[in-house]
Amino acid sequence: MNKPIRVLVTALVILTGASLILVGCGADEVSLDPADISGTITFGGWPAGDDAVAAIIEGFNEQYPNVTVELEMTATGDHHDRLLASLAARAGAPDVVMIEAEYIGSFRDRPGFVNLLDEPYNAGRFADDFVDFKWEHGLSIDGTQMVGLSWDIGPLTMFYNRRMFEAAGLPSDPDSVFELMNTPDGFLEVARAMHVPDERWLMGNAVDLISARWSNRDFYNEDLSLRIDEADSIELIDLAGQIRSQGLDANVEMWGGEWTSLLGDNRIAVVSAGSWFGGFLKSWIAPDSAGDWGVARQPLFDSVNWGGSFLAIPSMSNNPAAAWAFIEYMLTTVEAQNAMFAAVDYFPSLVPAWDASFYDEPDPYFGGQQTRRLWADIATRIEPSLVTPMDIETQGIFMSGVDVGIDAGESAESILASVVDEILRATAPERDALRTVLGLD
């Protein structure tokens, strides 16, 4: 596999002229002899990370019987806020921490983490086994430091409620659903057919269409110019505007309580999300709806990644040997990666895991579909992407601008122009600093 050009990310960097100084922490004398590894480590993250750990802890303890793993699970945003506070205070972080893909650009050049490329960890020996772009995202801007090893990716698909499609007189097999919705006109016609005023909608929010298209947060080209003014953005914003103006979306916020309730009550028909959303449906959104949901290729924009996570060791850990032993077992063994995938639908970043016959098995929750093989096929076609420190701000301005614009009935061209202007203005200081560091001026 060919590695893409080094990803551009830095959140806390020290800029001196045109140079970039990375502040990291190397490993002290750490023994990775299994006979020497013991004690208790804490694992910090968010649900369903706890269910994933539960699926592999027995296998880990067969190899490391003297290590106890304790979980500290909070909401995703709270977890990252606490991690930032711990790094600032240089105390209080768990021994192993999850870092969500949205946040990796804010952590990968920060001080306070063990460099997993250093002795005795030598994570670089696993480089060829991981999805290229996710491996790159865990590295510092100059490639000398690895803050996080990639756990999973999120091949984007459209989860759809078969029963709602059938009730609307629409086909419900995944291939037909994709073909029916794979043009803007077809997508709009399905939204109209699905709609029952104040009762049933195709989607929770029209803006979710734009959010899903750009869910990999690949907003920038290698020269730090914006990519969001590509032709498909105009097309999708126009479609979102029509859906909103015709009242065809529920106009509720994704992940909010009302959105979750509508999904569980069979009143929202589709959700575009990474493979991990399958685990959400099974565990807490619609656990009693086995067979009611299907998974189709994403209409209008296929081969997109949404999300994924990384595991890192804060340098303040008192037991980095046990922390690394746990990460190495979790993320670099086919056995553990596929056990977690089976438990929570976290699609492995570890490419050799995809060869298991398990990927061809039917998934009863999704009506016997071979969903894992579908996601593996999509994963092979996901393009490399840049990660920058501007991504979270860029995403916020983009989605908010589209939401406000379609509510006001503005044209797609006007909405996008306003969004691009605002992003360029708001991110100018960070872009200028990075351009200087990278010699792009």
Q: What are phi and psi of 354, to 5 degrees?
A: -70, -15
Mean pLDDT (the chain) is 91
Does 181 have pLDDT greater than 80? yes
Euclidean distance between CA atoms 200 and 57, whole angstroms: 42
Count CA atoms closer than 13 A to 328's CA, side-chain side: 19
Task: Say if CB 44 and CB 85 are below 8 A apart.
Answer: no
In angstroms, rounded to a whole number, what is the distance separating the alpha carbons of residues 174 and 184?
A: 18
Percentage of residues in the chain having pLDDT higher than 70: 94
User: Greater confidence, 20 or 276?
Assistant: 276
Q: What is the pLDDT of residues 385-409, one digit of tens each?
A: 888 889 999 999 999 999 999 999 9
Phi, psi values for residue 151, rounded to 5°: -90, -55
Q: Over the stretch 236-245, which tens digit does the pLDDT of each residue have?
A: 999 999 999 9
Architecture of the CATH domain 157-303+387-437: 3-Layer(aba) Sandwich (3.40)
Least confident of 3-12, 40-49, 149-158, 159-168: 3-12
14-154+307-355, CATH topology level: D-Maltodextrin-Binding Protein; domain 2 (3.40.190)
How many beta carbons lie within 10 A of that of residue 261, not counting itself? 13
Q: Which residues contact 147 (CB under 8 A, 6 or more apart)?
A: 99, 104, 107, 108, 109, 110, 113, 115, 116, 138, 139, 140, 310, 312
pLDDT above 90 for 272: yes
264: number of Cβ within 10 Å: 16
pLDDT tens digits, one per residue of 102-112: 899 889 888 99
**In the chain, where the domains are located:** 14-154+307-355, 157-303+387-437
Distance from C-alpha of 363 to C-alpha of 290, rounded to nearest angstrom: 10
On the question of pLDDT at 231 being above 90, the answer is: no
Query: Would you say the CATH fold of 157-303+387-437 matches that of 14-154+307-355?
Result: yes
Residue 375 phi, psi dihedral angles, 5° rounding: -65, -35
CA angle 241, 244, 245 (to 5 degrees): 80
Q: Which of 236, 351, 363, 249 is nearest to 298 (CA)?
A: 236
Q: Is a pLDDT exceeding 50 seen at residue 27?
A: no
Q: At what angle do helices 49-63 and 320-332 cross, to 10 degrees?
A: 110
SS3 218: coil
CA distances from 219 to 9, 76, 227, 392 (A): 13, 22, 5, 10
Residue with tokens 């061809």: 360
Which pairing describes strands 14-16 and 67-73: parallel, antiparallel, or unpaired?
unpaired
